[in-house]
Structure 1
Amino acid sequence: MRERNGGAIDLAGRAAQLLGAELVEARPLAGGDLSPVVALFLADGRKAVAKGGPAPQVEARMLAALRAAGARVPCVLAVCEDLLVMEMLPDQGALRAPGWSELGTMLRGVHGAPSRSPGFDPARPFGWGEDYAFGPVLIPNAPLADWPSFWAERRLLPASPFLPAALAHRIDALAARLPDHLPAQPAPALLHGDLWTGNVLASGGRLSGVIDPASYYGDGEVDLAMLHLFGAPHPEFQAAYGPLAPGWQVRRSIYQLWPALVHVRLFGSGYHGMVAGLLDRLGV
């Protein structure tokens, strides 16, 4: 076995034990900024991915919910308190037009799926039954009955203590006005929750699948907002997903604020400008 990284080898060895297989090689994968991720090559010819992190069992349940709703996500092979082992999806190159169309069609289907995860409460449909985390940043998910309250209390306001006073005041002001901009009761769509292009895998330009969810139930436009935050999907994506209700431009800026606020907490004040720009766009 070729050892490239001691921590990765330890993670890989434990993952191989969970699978009851002999480890031949382990390769740390790119993108593991918040959780260690390792490719496994096993003596029986199988390939898998092992991922550490704060809540592997929660992520496994999110993957199961997404798969039940029709998403292309990795199969969970094994999971324990601090380790998730998954199927390795093909990951070679970027999406081309047909792949973007596949992503739009898949996401529309997931957002419209009637299936619900265990514990879903129709009286409080927005959120998830368990909190999650991006590395050290807690993601509160306790369900609420109306969507603007969820977005204010679970997504925007928890960031205020970590912002300069002027930005925090603007976030607080926007949170108070959310009922004017967001639907009170959108259809509760199952969200991927962290759908940026780095979590979309392709092979030969076609869609392999999506990884690293931070799922909960909410307005499906949240996933679209995240996908547009650091770039623009191919036009085939929107054509396949379908039209959005009027006012989506304002909602997109509101929904993009949350990942911007998470980036402030993870990576520092360099993202204050992104937060301020989105608030400027909203006139707050």
Structure 2
Amino acid sequence: MDPLLTRLRAAGFDAVSADLAPGGVVAMAGMATLRDGSRVFAKTLQGAGADLFEIEAEGLRVLREAGATTPDVLAVTPDLLVLEPLCPRPDDNERFWEDLGRMVASMHAVTGERFGWHRDGWLGRLRQDNTWDEDGHAFLAQRRILRWLPEPLVEAAFDAEERRSLERLCAALPDLLPPRRPVLTHGDLWRENILTDRAGGPALIDPAVSYSWAEADLSMLWCSPRPPASDRFFAAYNEAAPLPDGWRQRMRVFHLRELLSDIAHDDGGWGAAQEVREIIAPFARRQ
């Protein structure tokens, strides 16, 4: 944790110690104790893009303006982000997950005219292409799925026919997904980016915001390991913002972006490539 403490002190925080935070897979992050006994949450990243933390701080602000709870940003520099501390989420509390479902539905009520964002962002250590597009199917295909194919680890994970199968799936997206308006999305809404504020309610961290498909956010939770109580998230969300029929069956298609990102970040050893193969199997050419 020495690099984190050094950068905190350089930013004016009299940090005396820091404890590594669990759950993160990209940045060095931890809860730091200051000399006066107060605590802050801080994160740093060796070789970070010069605008990575600036974009993350902007995302937190935009989500808060849309009604989501996010931590206060205490400081942001090219190599450091300092936030107010939050608490672990209560995985077995159904009320918590219901509140989160309504929060995310409220956030998704903020709509846009186009898919994308006014600047590119980051997903983990790699750039997120947010180029504006009025066609949601083309945006999902080009900016969120096929975007990962040139990454070296993704290229190595799939043969030529598997890549063509993925391209055929993307060409079929208009038949697979009903058109929806672009909405403000968190962009990385998996369980580790959900915490608890001081009042015990849900709070969101680590966004990769853009105007995108609402179901892209939902797929991050639906397709990842999660506690049983989180079923109440989907029930509460659907009460506040009813989803078109068949949404459960569409979740794996939206989850392709996350699976490919995991592989590109060298975190696909748990079976991400095999999941991709299962999803694209119907689009393989029969011999």
TM bracket, shorter-chain basis? 0.7 to 0.9
**SS of 1:138 mapped into structure 2:** strand
> What's 2:40 paired with?
48
Q: Name structure 2 gaps, 5 residues minimum.
A: none
> What's 1:155 paired with?
144
Report deviation, 1:132.
2.5
> What's 1:237 paired with?
233
Report deviation, 1:23.
1.3
> What's 1:258 paired with?
257
> What's 1:26 paired with?
18
> What's 1:214 paired with?
208
Q: 1:59 aligns with which of 56, 60, 63?
A: 56
Provide the aligned C-alpha RMSD in A. 2.3
CA distance in 1, matches of 2:57, 2:92: 25
Q: What CA deviation, in whole Å up to 9, does each residue of 1:65-106 have, x standing for no partner?
A: 011111111111110112111111112652511111011011
Within the alignment, does 1:277 sit opposite 2:281 as a pair? no
Equivalent residue letter for 2:246: G
Q: Percent identity?
A: 34
Q: Is the 8 A contact 2:74 2:82 kept in 1?
A: yes
Q: Is the 8 A contact 2:99 2:202 kept in 1?
A: no
Equivalent residue letter for 2:101: G
Please say which of residues 127-136 and 171-180 is displaced more in the overlay. 127-136
**SS of 1:258 mapped into structure 2:** helix
CA distance in 1, matches of 2:194, 2:231: 16
Where does 1:71-82 land on structure 2 (aligned, <5 Å)?
A: 71-82=68-79
> What's 2:65 paired with?
68
Where does 1:49-198 land on structure 2 (aligned, <5 Å)?
A: 49-53=41-45, 54=48, 55-91=52-88, 93-113=90-110, 122=113, 125-161=114-150, 162=155, 163-184=158-179, 186-198=180-192
Q: Is the 8 A contact 2:44 2:79 kept in 1?
A: yes
CA distance in 2, matches of 1:65, 1:212: 12
Please say which of residues 75-84 and 152-161 is displaced more in the overlay. 152-161
Q: TM-score with structure 1 length normalisation?
A: 0.85
Report deviation, 1:33.
2.2
**SS of 2:143 mapped into structure 1:** helix
Q: Is the 8 A contact 1:181 1:250 kept in 2?
A: no
Q: Is the 8 A contact 1:264 1:271 kept in 2?
A: yes
**SS of 2:172 mapped into structure 1:** helix
Q: TM-score with structure 2 length normalisation?
A: 0.84
Report deviation, 1:253.
2.0
Please say which of residues 44-53 and 148-157 is displaced more in the overlay. 44-53
CA distance in 2, matches of 1:38, 1:235: 30
Q: Name structure 1 gaps, 5 residues minimum.
A: 1-7, 117-121
Equivalent residue letter for 1:279: I
CA distance in 1, matches of 2:98, 2:61: 23
Q: Is the 8 A contact 2:89 2:194 kept in 1?
A: no
How many residues align structurally? 266
CA distance in 1, matches of 2:92, 2:208: 22
CA distance in 2, matches of 1:86, 1:203: 12
Report deviation, 1:181.
2.4
Q: 1:75 to 1:205 in 2, by over 3 A?
A: closer
